[in-house]
């Protein structure tokens, strides 16, 4: 079989990122934009000794779960990956991927529950729009590419972000347009406050202020910032921030708790679903007012403060210093005196706890996509907490780490996926690991 050859086959499975798996003569091809059990005709784009990639040309037998995406830029824009599936199929896909990872990577027989569903549109509270000139374009990148897709609207951003973005596109008529790298918008759903930050190659504070004045009069933009970034890589934000108008942050509220969000702060992008995620984890861990809890990878302290409403004391640990500064401010905003925030590497601090022998009752971990390192796992095990609550954004590393914990005497009964990112292949999971009583 050669490149550009047409083949026919049936979609038998999915890859982790939502591509269809099609086997022809015992050879595997990955094809984007198809659904499970569909019969398709596809064009071979690339093939090596182990697998090939194809582009669907015709759908010979269509799935009942196929829908026409409501976004006119799908699939050119790389922000969404599975918008051609109805929501039932999206949840089934995410359930399937988590289950496969638990079984194939972790080699574990654990109940994987159906994902907790989310609203599917206008759920994002943050948008980063790259910009470029000659000709001017602003939007999102194509999947796995630096090619910019020029878009007018985005259906997964909050409606207010989408409205403000539509007006910001007139930036193409300004004198400083060539120095705009990105425009970042954050929207606090409960307070309504909005932050708009221009990531610039050079200083244009006065021109930005003049351009934004009509928008400041019409919208609740309480934080207008300029961020200078002169790097020649893909890092979006630089270190230098100028407050052009208002303040350097916005304030959001989650389930009655207030959080100050700065430009560099990480905050969950689906706030309504975040409440379900945190409450699911805390409820399952059965936190009591006698428990001492350690929250590793605590960020700006969002789940730490949720925990503090239930526990006797919570220690939040985060290696990023500005995040810890935000966390301490958030502690003050909510007047909680049973919380301590520590700026440290998670594994290093966990190892110190082992040395001190002041063991917690419960440990929460919410690591980045790479999962937990050996020191963190071994140290949390040596603490002997009755429960380790693991929140994960990567089912593959989650499955790997659960298997390691099992070797150390910690087991779990179920995995609870939570759909934080509808129309994308991403999925969060909550796992409760219980220590065997010896």
Q: Are 141 and 148 in contact (CB under 8 A)?
A: yes
For 192, phi and psi rounded to 5 degrees? 85, -5
Catalytic residue among 80, 154, 393, 412: 393
**Residues of each annotated binding site for S-adenosyl-L-methionine:** 268, 297, 318, 366
Phi-psi region of 416 (alpha: psi -120 to 50; beta: other; left: phi over 0): beta
Please list, in sequence order, all residues whose beta carbon lies within 8 angstroms of the beta carbon of residue 25, skipping any fewer than 6 positions away: none
Say if strands 126-132 and 428-435 run parallel, antiparallel, or are unpaired: unpaired
Strands (E), 211-274: 221-228, 240-246, 249-254, 257-262
Q: Are 14 and 427 in contact (CB under 8 A)?
A: no
| Per-residue buried b or exposed e for 24-44, using 16+ beta carbons within 10 Å of the residue's own CB | beeeebbbbbbbbebbbebbb
Q: Residue 393 catalytic? A: yes
**Residues of each annotated binding site:** 268, 297, 318, 366
- Residue-level length of the chain: 438
- Written as six digits, the tokens of 367 are 């690591």
Residue 351: how many other CB atoms lie within 10 Å? 18
- Written as six digits, the tokens of 169 are 């596109």
Please list, in sequence order, all residues whose beta carbon lies within 8 angstroms of the beta carbon of residue 253, skipping any fewer than 6 positions away: 188, 190, 191, 259
- Written as six digits, the tokens of 307 are 């925990």
Please list, in sequence order, all residues whose beta carbon lies within 8 angstroms of the beta carbon of residue 313, skipping any fewer than 6 positions away: 292, 293, 338, 339, 340
Distance CA(199)–CA(229), nearest Å, equals 7
Q: Which residues are catalytic?
A: 393
């Amino acid at each position: 079989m050669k490149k550009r050859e047409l083949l026919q086959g049936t979609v038998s499975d999915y890859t982790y990122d939502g591509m269809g798996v099609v086997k022809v003569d015992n050879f595997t091809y990955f094809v984007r934009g198809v659904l499970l059990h569909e019969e398709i005709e596809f064009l071979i784009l690339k093939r090596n000794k182990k697998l090939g990639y194809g582009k669907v040309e015709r759908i010979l037998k269509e799935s009942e779960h196929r829908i026409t995406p409501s976004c006119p830029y799908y699939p050119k824009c790389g922000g969404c990956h599975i918008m051609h599936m109805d929501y039932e199929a999206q949840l089934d896909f995410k359930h399937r991927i988590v289950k496969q990872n638990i079984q194939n990577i972790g080699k574990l027989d654990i109940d994987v529950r159906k994902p907790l569903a989310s609203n599917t549109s206008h759920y994002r509270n943050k948008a980063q729009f790259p910009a470029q000139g000659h000709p001017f374009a602003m939007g999102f990148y194509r999947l796995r590419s630096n090619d910019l897709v020029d878009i007018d609207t985005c259906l997964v951003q909050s409606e207010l972000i989408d409205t403000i973005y539509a007006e910001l596109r007139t930036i193409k008529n300004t004198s400083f347009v060539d120095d705009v790298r990105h425009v970042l918008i954050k929207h606090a759903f409960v307070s309504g406050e909005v932050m708009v930050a221009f990531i610039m190659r050079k200083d244009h504070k006065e021109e930005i202020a003049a351009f934004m004045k009509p928008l400041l009069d019409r919208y609740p933009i309480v934080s207008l910032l300029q961020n200078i970034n002169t790097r020649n890589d893909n890092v979006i934000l630089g270190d230098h921030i100028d407050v052009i108008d208002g303040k350097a942050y916005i304030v959001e509220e989650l389930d009655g708790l207030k959080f100050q969000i700065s430009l560099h702060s990480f905050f969950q992008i689906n706030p309504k679903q975040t409440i379900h995620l945190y409450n699911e984890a805390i409820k399952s861990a059965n936190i009591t007012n006698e428990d001492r809890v350690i929250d590793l990878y605590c960020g700006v302290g969002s789940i730490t403060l949720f925990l503090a409403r239930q526990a006797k004391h919570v220690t939040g640990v985060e290696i990023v210093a500005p995040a810890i500064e935000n966390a301490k401010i958030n502690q003050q905003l909510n007047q909680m005196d049973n919380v301590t925030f520590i700026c440290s590497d998670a594994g290093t601090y966990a190892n110190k706890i082992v040395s001190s022998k002041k063991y917690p009752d419960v440990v929460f971990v919410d690591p980045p996509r790479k999962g937990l390192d050996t020191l963190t796992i071994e140290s949390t095990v040596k603490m002997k907490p009755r429960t380790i609550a693991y929140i994960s954004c990567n089912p593959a590393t989650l499955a790997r780490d659960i298997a390691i914990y099992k070797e150390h005497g910690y087991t779990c009964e179920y995995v609870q996926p939570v759909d934080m990112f509808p129309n994308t292949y991403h999925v969060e999971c909550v796992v409760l690991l219980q220590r065997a009583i010896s």
